[in-house]
Amino acid sequence: MIAGFEVLAVVFLVIMIYITFTSYKTKRLSKLSALFWFLVWAAGIFGIFLNKKLGLFLESLSIMRVFDLYTIIGFMFFLFIVFYLFRVVKENEKRIEEMVRVLAIKNMQKGE
């Protein structure tokens, strides 16, 4: 029996698959990024439907409930995304700084 929360989660994940698909079709996501997000959303759906089967696996990890496992995985995924975004922001800062330097040197040379 699927609980109300699980139905809501599946609806959310299907909507996210649709948003990922439309973002890929409008070229806002690369093929690799779209594949990554499709796998994330599909893993969520499989996790919901395999909820009962995870019981034996959870006992070996000393995790009491499936929801606890989802919380742990979600937190780890959240930290991964935050770290990745931090790295991207730092790379963009370096690129912008370099572009500003180049433009400043060009403007100084034109002014002479």
Both tokens of 61, joined, read: 């990890």
Please tell me the predicted confidence (pLDDT) of residue 72.
87
Cα–Cα distance between 106 and 112 in angstroms, integer? 10
Q: Name residues whose C-beta falls within 8 Å of residue 6's C-beta, 6 or more positions apart in sequence.
A: 48, 51
Please tell me the predicted confidence (pLDDT) of residue 54.
75
Please tell me the predicted confidence (pLDDT) of residue 91.
95
Q: Name residues whose C-beta falls within 8 Å of residue 4's C-beta, 6 or more positions apart in sequence.
A: none
Per-run averaged pLDDT (10 residues), the chain, 112 residues: 77 94 93 93 88 77 80 90 92 96 90 67
Identity at 4, one-letter amino acid code: G
Q: What is the residue extent of each domain of the chain?
A: 4-86
Q: Is the dihedral of CA 41, 69, 54, 8 positive or negative?
A: negative
Q: Decide: pTM greater than 0.85.
A: no
Please tell me the predicted confidence (pLDDT) of residue 85.
92
Radius of gyration of the chain (CA): 22
